[in-house]
Structure 1
């Protein structure tokens, strides 16, 4: 069963996967994701690392602390979900059969 098992070839495949993973991570980190809540009253942006990089709050919410908190939580959760979905999509792309060649 393993008589044609080539460790050198396996090493090449792993190197290709590592290179592709590094490239996908670099591309993902450059992305910006933005989520809005309250019809756009609150807008939160995050980078591909999941770091919040910008928050915009409509002035009308500055007198309503409770609504502001709710809308901030909602927008932050939404943007972090976007980042996570992008990471999962990138991981699935890593498993693209084309990197293993065709036999």
Structure 2
């Protein structure tokens, strides 16, 4: 029993390390989102760090339109980045979980 507990603790520590490595890797995964007409492009990492915004000159003429574009496009890129991050981290966490029958039902 004690050996099983030590094995589980080792597995948890290994999983925690893999989660941290995955988080670091996600800093280099870039996610792009464009406005519906392509006049605005927003790029961020899968860890939701904004890295670039590209604005077509025509949007600079209408402040309100530009603000709307920014809000909509940034929210969409955040949603994409969040989905990628959650999916990657869930896969690592699930891989490191002990094999307990029925536990996988709670992980979905």
Identify the TM-score tier after normalising by the shorter chain: 0.7 to 0.9
TM-score by length of 2: 0.80
Residue 105 of structure 2 corresponds to residue 84 of structure 1? no
Identify the residue that residue 69 of structure 1 maps to in structure 2: 67
Unpaired runs of 5+ in structure 2?
Answer: 100-108
State whether residues 11 and 96 of structure 2, in contact with CA within 8 Å, keep that contact through their aligned partners in structure 1. no
Unpaired runs of 5+ in structure 1?
Answer: none
- Residue from 52, 55, 64 that aligns with 1:54: 52
How far apart are the structure 1 equivalents of 2:48 and 2:40? 18
Matches within 5 A, 1:1-103: 4=1, 6-97=4-95, 100=98
Structure 1, residues 49-89: CA drift from partner, whole Å, max 9, x if none? Answer: 31211111111111111111111111100111111111210
Q: Secondary structure at the match of 1:96?
A: helix
Alignment RMSD, CA only?
A: 2.0
State whether residues 46 and 53 of structure 1, in contact with CA within 8 Å, keep that contact through their aligned partners in structure 2. yes
How far apart are the structure 1 equivalents of 2:85 and 2:38? 25
State whether residues 43 and 57 of structure 1, in contact with CA within 8 Å, keep that contact through their aligned partners in structure 2. yes
- Cα distance, 1:99 vs. partner? 6.2
Q: Secondary structure at the match of 1:44?
A: strand
Q: Secondary structure at the match of 1:40?
A: coil
